[in-house]
Amino acid sequence: MLTIYGRPNSSNVQLVMWTVHELGLANERLDYGYGHASPRTPDFLAMNPMGLVPVLRDGNMLMFESGAILRYLGAAYGDETFWPKDPKLRGPLDTWAEWGKLTFAPAVGGIFQARVRTAPERQDPAVIARAEAALPPLAHILDERLDGRDWIGGDDFTFADIAVGHQLHRYHEMDWDRPDLPNLSAYYARLRTRPAYRDHAMVSYAALTGID
């Protein structure tokens, strides 16, 4: 039994919960983080000194950092398609997983922070404009990657789709000037056919609106 500590409206918790359910793993999720139990108590800090969610417990093992958790779950429980053992097959997928987590997700997060989390009276048009300028070039890169491919790697759904796709709900739901990108739209439609995505990555962020 896996235990995941983290609130369901955290995008990083969503990444982990989507993975766990995509792989069909027995789990329990405990509500920690903003609006829930504090992740800054000594007990929680002993699990993650950053005081952030998600944290994963698998038996006696503890992990934080959602990207590392995704890779652990893939290596421990994924099949050859989801997590290829051959480094030459996994390397290109991991390239996109890293890009999704370290480049694309922060750019989505920039708009999310500026437009959603920041209360209207504290929103700064210059910050919003900068955030909205940063994302379209990355979305075009993703759209090109998806040209002729159903999934990030090609024909099969893999861990890379989770690292890239977990932010696409916010990408499509936020009120911003989204570019018209047909491959990306079709990819998002494909993601939405997956029950684990619908249940764990398409979570309302209403409770985060205007909190900063």
Ligand X SMILES: N[C@@H](CCC(=O)N[C@@H](CS)C(=O)NCC(=O)O)C(=O)O
Write out the residues near ligand X by the rule CB under 6 A: 10-12, 33-34, 39, 52-54, 65-67
- Structure token pair of residue 175: 């009120």
Which is closer to ligand X, CB of 54 or CB of 78?
54
Alpha helices in the chain (DSSP H): 11-22, 42-47, 66-77, 87-99, 105-111, 125-145, 159-165, 168-173, 182-191, 195-200
CB of 208 to ligand X, least distance (A): 9
Dist CA 204 CA 35 (whole Å): 14
- Structure token pair of residue 114: 């500026």
Which is closer to ligand X, CB of 33 or CB of 84?
33
CB of 105 to ligand X, least distance (A): 8
**Residue 133 contacts by C-beta under 8 Å, 6 or more apart in sequence?**
none
Closest residue to ligand X, based on beta-carbon distance: 33
CB of 23 to ligand X, least distance (A): 18
CB of 33 to ligand X, least distance (A): 3
CB of 62 to ligand X, least distance (A): 13
Which is closer to ligand X, CB of 131 or CB of 146?
131
Which is closer to ligand X, CB of 58 or CB of 143?
58
Which is closer to ligand X, CB of 64 or CB of 157?
64
- Which class for 161: exposed (0-12), middle (13-18), buried (19 or more C-beta within 10 A)? buried
Q: Where are the beta strands (DSSP E) in the chain?
A: 2-5, 27-30, 55-58, 61-64
- Structure token pair of residue 91: 């390397």
Which is closer to ligand X, CB of 67 or CB of 146?
67
CB of 31 to ligand X, least distance (A): 10
- Which class for 160: exposed (0-12), middle (13-18), buried (19 or more C-beta within 10 A)? buried
- Structure token pair of residue 194: 């997956």
